[in-house]
Amino acid sequence: MSDVTRAEVCAVACADLFAGAGEILASPMGLMPSLGARLARLTSEPDLLLSDGEAFLLDPESTVEGWLPYRRVFAVVAHGRRHVVMGANQIDRFGNQNISCIGDHARPSRQLLGFRGAPGNTINHRTSYWVPRHSPRVFVERVDVVSGVGYDHAVGPFHDVHRVVTNLAVLDFRTPDRSMRLVSVHPGVEVSEVLAQTSFPLEHNDFGETRLPTDEELELLRTVLDPAGRRDKEVPS
């Protein structure tokens, strides 16, 4: 299949977040992470458990497979058999995430979601982030409020901030000081664009190009998972 869109590249990058995960609870928040998790379940990771976030476990086509009420999710969180993909209004070089407010916490200029489950997620199990618009307003030198815990504030042995996927690139924290580095740029993106849209120095000595979807993955995205093309509204080509 041809004419792969940027959104489809992002979807498979989100699917690859779950590579090798096995039987864990995947908790993708938002359209693109959900497409990625469902795509992984249909291809490389058939043992993934997908939750509707409320009461049920679902298959990739939203058929109910089991019962998982919200109160039971906290037990899964504490056990560590979960990988959540959250959003970020701000994220800094060590992976601290802010979804609480912009500005001083006592008198914020903008109120956001609040801390929600971000602190507990980041200290108990693997966490990744999806950012649909990579910009200096999101990738900041220092977050205004720490919601999700980054590597310079890491607490305990189960802290695991895995990767950040954006509309431009894939990033991780596999550096000696656990600061963010560039893993790959999406096809058609120049590294200079990623660096210009990031407010802090970004290690980029050894990066590649984000892989293209396979024919099978494209077929699943276009005919099964997202035939309405919602992905292209989130990440225009």
pLDDT per position as a tens digit, 181-228? 999 999 999 999 999 999 999 999 999 999 999 999 999 999 999 999
pLDDT for res 135: 98
Report d(CA 195, CA 136) in Å as an integer. Answer: 9
Q: In this structure, are strands 126-131 and 101-102 parallel, antiparallel, or unpaired?
A: unpaired
Residue 2 has pLDDT above 80, yes or no: no
The pLDDT tens digits for 85-120 are: 999 999 999 999 999 989 888 888 888 888 888 999
Residue 123 has pLDDT above 60, yes or no: yes
Report d(CA 234, CA 104) in Å as an integer. Answer: 30
Report d(CA 66, CA 232) in Å as an integer. Answer: 31
Predicted confidence band at 156 (pLDDT cuts at 50, 70, 90)?
A: confident
The matching CATH number, chosen from 3.40.640.10, 3.30.300.30, 3.40.1080.10, 3.40.190.10, for 6-234 is 3.40.1080.10
- Give the Å distances, CA to CA, from 217 to 13, 25, 197: 12, 21, 29
Would you say the C-alpha torsion 32, 35, 40, 41 has a positive or negative sign?
Answer: positive
Break the chain into its structural domains and give their ranges. 6-234
Residue 42 has pLDDT above 70, yes or no: yes
**Assigned token pair, 192:** 């200079």
pLDDT for res 1: 45
Extended strands (E) in the chain: 25-28, 49-51, 56-58, 64-67, 82-86, 90-91, 97-98, 101-102, 110-111, 126-131, 160-166, 169-172, 181-185, 208-209
What percentage of residues in the chain have a pLDDT greater than 70? 99
Query: 18 or 110: whose pLDDT is higher?
Result: 18
